[in-house]
Homo-oligomer: A and B are copies of this chain.
Amino acid sequence: MNKASLNQYFHSLFPIEKEVVEKITESFSYFELEKNKVLIDVNTVSTQTFFLERGYMRSFILNEDGEQVTTNIYTAPCFVNDFLSFFKQQPSKESYQTITECSFWETSLENVQFNFHNIPDFREFSRLLFVVNYHKLNDRLIAMSSQKAETRYMNLLKLQPHIFQNVSLKIIASYLGITDSSLSRIRREIGKI
């Protein structure tokens, strides 16, 4: 329950002084959630931002047929928030829930705003977070529009094998943009080779 991993995360993203990081993370407070608990509920305005220290999470929306579509899977350590809801103070269109037991560090928009306007390195860090997340999303979009499901599955398996130990195939299938029976068939075919 110390801030070592939170502080470390700042250093991992770009060079920043120890004292500056400590000033930034001063306002963060710790909490835990069991598995399958809601972190950010759909239609609520998000006032906190979260650092996922330990565990697995996902975001999802409900489509026209009322089915859950997993939009993202979050693997600690990383920041989790709904950008649109948090920064524009609008109701979230997605829900965010824990998949495993998770631990978090959270802080408020007020603190983020203070740091953003008063600590230059935090500004750079924030922007870098956006750039990195935008880039990840872009890569997924390219994969979704130019690769077949089997390729997307193979890449996920290669790049994030630990996800398969912690997240159900149903959620993974939805994240890959296919049904769980299709994923099951793909896994069988791969196994044959």
A residues contacting B by CB (< 8 A) are: 61, 63, 69, 71, 83-84, 87-88, 116-117, 120, 123, 126-128, 130-131, 133-135, 137-138, 140-142, 144-146, 174, 176-177
Contacts and interface: CB of A to CB of B under 8 A. Distances in A.
A71 B61 CA distance: 23
Nearest to A60: B142
Given A63-B146, A146-B63, A141 B137 contact: yes
A69 B142 contact: yes
Contacts of A133: 134
Nearest to A175: B145
Contact of A131 (B63, B83, B142): B83
Contacts of A127: 87, 116, 126-127, 130
